[in-house]
Structure formats: C-alpha cells, structure tokens
Amino acid sequence: MTGAERRRLLAVCAEIVGVEPEDLEPETDFFEDLNIDSDDLADLFVAIEDAFDIELDDSLLGAVRTFQNLEELIEDVIG
C-alpha cells in the first residue's frame, strides 16, 4: 500500500468512526477502543469501497477487528 493509499484509508476510517486520523494506530481495535458495532463496520466497508473503487465481500467483515487487519485486507484487494 502506498503512502497516499494509507492516508486515504486513514481519512476514510477517521471520518466514519469519528476520530482523528492520527488516533488510528495499527493496534486500534474498532470494537474495544472505538466502540463501533458491526453495522458501523459495514458502513466503513461501503465508504472504503467508494474511496478505493473496489468491492469488498461482506464475509470479510468478521476478519476485521483492528486497523491493521483492515489495512492488510485492503492492501490484499488493491494489490
């Protein structure tokens, strides 16, 4: 993932979950640290799909717990 792609991912995540991009560390747990639920995570997936012009399978929602999990998933999808 390029630096620009990572910054875009940080910006999208921060906007959807209501934090500043610099508050998102690799170990940030969406559920424990940011108190989001599965519906919020689904909204995040939609925003990421729009921002990166990709399609994410909903079955991947369960694989994402931390920002690092999400970043690795997006990196795998965009190559």
Q: Rounded to two decimals, what is the model's pTM? A: 0.90
Measured distance CA(63)–CA(59) in Å, rounded: 8
**CB-based contacts of 63, cutoff 8 Å, min separation 6:** 69, 73
Domain containing residue 43: CATH number: 1.10.1200.10
Q: Which domain holds residue 54?
A: 3-78
58 has pLDDT over 90: no
- Over residues 19-48, the pLDDT tens digits come to 999 999 999 999 999 999 989 999 999 999
How many percent of the chain have pLDDT more than 90? 86
pLDDT of amino acid 79: 81
pLDDT of amino acid 1: 87
- Cβ 51 vs Cβ 10: under 8 Å: no
State how many domains the chain has: 1
Question: How confident is the prediction for the chain on average, in pLDDT?
Answer: 94
